[in-house]
Amino acid sequence: MGGQHELQVWAEDRLHADRAAKAAITDVLRIEAKYSRYREDSVTAAINRAAGGAAVAIDDETAALLRFGARCHALSGGRFDLTSGVLRGAWDFARQPSRIPTDDEIATALAKVGWERVEWSDRWVRLSRAGGMELDFGGIGKEYAADRVAAICMDHGIRHGFVNLGGDVRVIGTQVDGTPWRIGLRHPRRMQAVIGEVELCDAAVATSGDYERYFEADGRRYCHLLDALTGRPVDHWQSASVVAPLATLAGSWGTIAMLLGEAAVPFLRAQHADYLLVAADGTVSCGGAAFERARTNSLERATNQ
Amino acid sequence: MIAAALALPGILPANASAQAAPDEGVVALRYYDYRDWQPGASRMTVRSPTLYALVPLSDTTTLEGSLTHDAMSGASPLYHNTLSGASGLGVTDYRTAGDVKVTRYFDGNALALSAAYSDERDYTSRAASVEWRHFSDDRNRTYAIGFGAAHDRIDSSNGLATNKRRETFDLLLGVTQVLNPGALIESTLTWSQGRGYYSDPYKLLDQRPDRRHIVAWLTRYNQYVGRFDATLRLGYRYLHDSFGDQSHMLEAAWIQPLPRGLTVTPSVRYYTQSAADFYHDPPFPQGLVEGAPYTADTRLSAFGAVTLGLRVAKTFAGGTTADVAMNFYRQQSGWRIGGGGSPGLEEFSARWIEFGIEKRF
């Protein structure tokens, strides 16, 4: 799990806070170890090694993550796909100088993508295609871990706190004084600025953007969010921030919104999600009560400038 | 989507599981094949396909419905074992039945409305019910209260019962409690109050009271057995019928998941009942008093019965489950516990086979 992580909990005494934080961090590391695609001994690696071969037995947790991934795949019309990680083989964002892959390279990578070629049940999973098909829980694992952290803290009696795993935030209760937690939303183009803020109690906000990993070529930005249908980066939105009861939902809805392009607004409305979308030209559109305030604040700032 | 997220383990405090509306649809097709017999005589055969579907209408509302068509054939109705074969007539009858149910999930509550209709040549039934369930804040306890009403109309093909009616009202109270992450107990009490025509027009001299009051108490206990990764399911039901008969039912099933998506479920059930007050032992029509209730229907005699079952299910990729189940039933008056069984009756056996395929999407 890359990125910066932060956990704040409020308890009656230091001992209780430490205990809760320790249990939560242990669980995040457990999820990281279990699902990391970089670790040889992870569940993900075991599934990927067996691609084209025998089915791999899985536990309830992995089955639930697969089920959730299946819902994301269905809801996004196939654009969100737990097997789309192999597209990174064609799109190398670390490469210097950067290079746009050829159509053939994209087609070769796309041939290894396809949720419909994942055979699975509550007890086993099998990638039906040999030769490089891969499963990657990266798209949902971090948000799932954030929700687990909140639940573990609450089980330890924590009533106020928040966890921020690489920009995906889940809050527990309110601040100690009873006011909502205020979460700033990063500006997709000005790295030190916020484009809005959101007030949360017992909820989550996640932001998906085109600025995390990208390269520019011929005046165009190519970001790391790749559409599993086309094998190409999305370019309709600069960022999508979504508020939901769970980080798992906020994160996946945000990613799906980025992937859906224009269809993101009706999609988010159908989920009853609150959202703040920044279009490619910088135009902000908001929906839902949580962002009413964000819009007002940014208008005030714009007026004052 | 929300349900899929809430199904992720450990994202709600204290491992509680939430009762959100199901957000995936189900289509299932089942085929049921029943046959019963007595020594030297094959009796009823029933074959029925059933189609079931569940459709989520929104995040909070689901619609369910099923459609069944039965084809029954055989030497039924039979008057009495002592007259075995005397009815002579082979009968083929068809029944078509359907039901719909709408469930709406509110914050911590669910309200379900359902309606059912069943039609065969000599019998029509219409029923409606409403059920309210309340989930505790920690989701570990569920209360249920239900009310149902049914209106039946009987027009026997032999002309003995024409335009006969029957009204039944049911009240249900239930509680389900999660005891720990591996154990769950459920207890349901049902009262049923009916008035109208209860006699069997195909059974000679059959005359039953026109009021019936039934109390049934069902308790189920499920225990996960970690050592075998299996679930033990136990059940007990006591039933008291104002016709005078009482019954006890005990059942046990072992649900054993195996590799490759297979699940094997062996089960055993024991049933014992006392006779109705107005049931009279053979020879027919011994004990008949003109004008008083009378029956020689063996289903109201005193007996014990054992059912052995085995179900094998396999889950395939993409949410498809197929299963086959085989059940054997044997009933003998001597198998009754707590008093002798009704004398003079031959043992009765049945078997039924079920095939099902279910797709979730």
Per-residue pLDDT of chain B (361 residues), as tens digits, is: 777 777 777 777 654 444 556 777 899 999 999 998 887 676 788 889 999 999 989 878 999 999 999 887 765 434 333 333 333 344 567 889 999 999 998 878 999 999 999 998 888 999 999 999 998 877 778 999 999 999 999 988 777 788 999 999 999 999 999 887 778 899 999 999 999 999 988 777 889 999 999 999 999 999 988 888 888 999 999 999 999 999 999 999 999 988 888 999 999 999 999 999 999 887 777 788 878 899 888 889 999 999 999 999 998 877 789 999 999 999 999 999 877 888 888 888 999 999 999 998 8
Mutate to test the interface with B, among A31, A68, A165 (most CBs of B within 10 A): A68
Identify all chain B residues contacting A152, using CB atoms and an 8 Å cutoff: 10
Mean pLDDT, residues A270-278 taken together = 91
Class of CATH domain B23-360: mainly beta
Nearest chain B alpha carbon to A67: B4
Residue A274 contacts B, CB cutoff 8 Å? no
CB atoms B317 and A121 under 8 Å = yes
Helical spans, DSSP H, in A156-275: 247-260, 264-270
Output the pLDDT for position A45.
94
CB contact under 8 A, A60 and B9: yes
Q: Judge: B317–A148 Cβ closer than 8 Å, yes or no.
A: no
Give the pLDDT confidence of A280-303 residue by residue, as tens digits: 998 888 888 777 655 555 555 544
pLDDT, residue A193, reads 77
pLDDT at B147: 96
Map out the domains of chain B as residue ranges: 23-360
Give how far Cα B18 sits from Cα of A92, B5, B82, B104, B138, Å: 42, 10, 56, 15, 8
Please provide the size of chain A in residues.
305
Chain A hits for B317, CB-CB cut-off 8 Å, are 118-121, 126
Q: Is the dihedral of CA A97, A102, A105, A111 positive or negative?
A: positive
Helix, strand and coil content of chain A, in percent to the nearest 5, comes to 40, 25, 35
In angstroms, the Cα distances linking B111 to B6, B59, B267 are 21, 14, 32
Please state the φ and ψ torsions of residue A206, each to the nearest 5 degrees: -135, 145
Instruction: Tell if the CB–CB gap between A248 and B259 is shorter than 8 Å.
Output: no
Q: Which of B11, B24, B260 sits opposite A151 (nearest CB)?
A: B11
pTM comes to 0.56
Question: What is the C-alpha to C-alpha distance for residues A242 and A268, in angstroms, rounded to an integer?
Answer: 8
Q: Which residues of B touch A71 (CB under 8 A)?
A: 1, 4, 23-24
List, for residues B36-64, the tens digit of each pLDDT value.
888 767 678 888 999 999 998 987 899 99
CA distance A108 to A163: 39
From chain A, pick out residues whose CB is under 8 angstroms from the CB of B315: 121-123
Q: At A135, phi and psi to the nearest 5?
A: -105, 145
- Pairing outcome for strands B26-38 and A181-186: unpaired
Provide the shortest C-alpha distance from residue A203 to chain B (in Å). 12
Percent of chain A topping pLDDT 70 = 94
Partners of A118 on chain B (C-beta within 8 Å) are 317
The token duo for B138 is 């920690």
Between CA A257 and CA A250 the distance in angstroms is 10
Q: Per the CB < 8 Å rule, is A64 touching B9?
A: yes
Q: Do B8 and A248 touch (CB under 8 A)?
A: yes
B13 touches chain A (CB under 8 A): yes
For residue A230, give how far its alpha carbon lies from the nearest alpha carbon of chain B (Å): 23
Q: What is d(CA B82, CA B29) in angstroms, rounded to the nearest whole number?
A: 39
Q: How far is B153 from chain A (nearest CA, A)?
A: 46
The verdict on a CB contact (< 8 Å) between B7 and A68 is yes
How many Cβ atoms are within 10 Å of B167's Cβ, its own excluded?
12
Q: Dump pLDDT digits (tens) for A96-123.
A: 788 888 999 999 999 999 999 999 988 8
CB pairs under 8 A between A and B: 76
Q: How far apart are CA B312 and CA B265, in angstroms?
A: 6
Helix (H) / strand (E) element for B306: namely strand B303-316
Contact of B292 with chain A, judged by CB distance below 8 Å, is answered with no
Given CB atoms, is A29 within the 8 Å cutoff of chain B?
no
Q: Is A249 on the interface with B (CB under 8 A)?
A: yes
Residues A222 and A98: their CA atoms lie apart, in Å, by 10
CA atoms within 13 A on the CB side of A228: 25
Mark which residues 37-76 of B lie under 8 Å from A by CB. Answer: 59
Q: Is the pLDDT of residue A78 over 70?
A: yes
Which domains does chain A possess?
43-136 (1.10.3980.10), 180-304 (3.10.520.10)
Task: Judge whether A61 is closer than 8 Å to chain B, CB to CB.
Answer: yes
Q: Is B260 at the interface with chain A, CB within 8 A?
A: yes
Residues of chain A found within 8 Å of residue B260, distances taken between Cβ atoms: 55, 124
Cα(A133)–Cα(A87) distance, rounded to whole angstroms?
10
Q: Which of B22, B28, B56, B51 is nearest to B358 (CA)?
A: B28
Q: Do strands B320-332 and B303-316 pair parallel, antiparallel, or not at all (unpaired)?
A: antiparallel
DSSP B97: E
Res B116: pLDDT: 94
Whether residues B317 and A245 touch (CB distance < 8 A) is answered with no
- For the record, the structure tokens of A229 come out as 């249908």
Peptide bond into B283 cis (omega under 30): yes
So what's the pLDDT on residue A265? 93
